[in-house]
Amino acid sequence: MVDTDSSKMLDSGFFENQIWGALHKAWKGYVIAKNKDEYEKMVHYARVIQENRLDLGLEVSSFDNIGMSATSFLWELAQKDNDSQEQKIVEEENYLGDHQYEEERFTDTHSEDFKDDENKADRFTDDNAHRETFTD
């Protein structure tokens, strides 16, 4: 179906026909949960329905009987988007701060001055003259 342009890829990463299938199943689940008076499942399926309808570009459904309006759903999405933008800014600032630290670390004027000590090289030779002998 992808090659025939019968279904296009949506922003969610799923194909349009997959979302339609999920929407159909979510409505079926919602109706069953409503008939069995299972509030948690009704909320779950209502949320899936709202997400799928938004993804398809359809008007978002309201479920006033369980307190899930389309407006509150869209407001929640806007808040999440705003929070993710703020998080991205914080991460960029942290990255820039780390990068600045790395630059300062490599250009530190108080770095140690390593000089070879000619006498220290003799410590690692097998010359027995420098070894102490321990006896009981």
Give the tens place of pLDDT for each residue, 102-127: 566 666 555 555 555 555 555 555 55
Residue 45: burial class (beta carbons within 10 Å; 0-12, 13-18, 19+): buried
Q: Where are the domains of the chain?
A: 16-106
Residue 21 burial (CB count, 10 A):
13
Structure tokens at 132: 């102490």
pLDDT tens-place string over residues 26-43: 999 999 999 999 999 999
β-sheet bridge partners, residue 9: 15
More confident residue, 18 or 128: 18
At residue 56, the pLDDT reads 94
Closest among 42, 19, 48, 39 to 30, alpha carbons compared: 42
At residue 83, the pLDDT reads 81
At residue 27, the pLDDT reads 97
Q: Is the pLDDT of residue 49 over 90?
A: yes
Work out the end-to-end distance of the chain between its first and last CA atoms, rounded to an integer number of angstroms. Answer: 89
The separation between CA 42 and the C-alpha centre of its own chain, rounded to angstroms, equals 28
pLDDT tens-place string over residues 50-64: 999 999 999 999 999
Q: Is the pLDDT of residue 45 over 50?
A: yes
At residue 1, the pLDDT reads 46
The rounded distance, in Å, linking the Cα atoms of 30 and 51 is 14
Structure tokens at 113: 């001055």
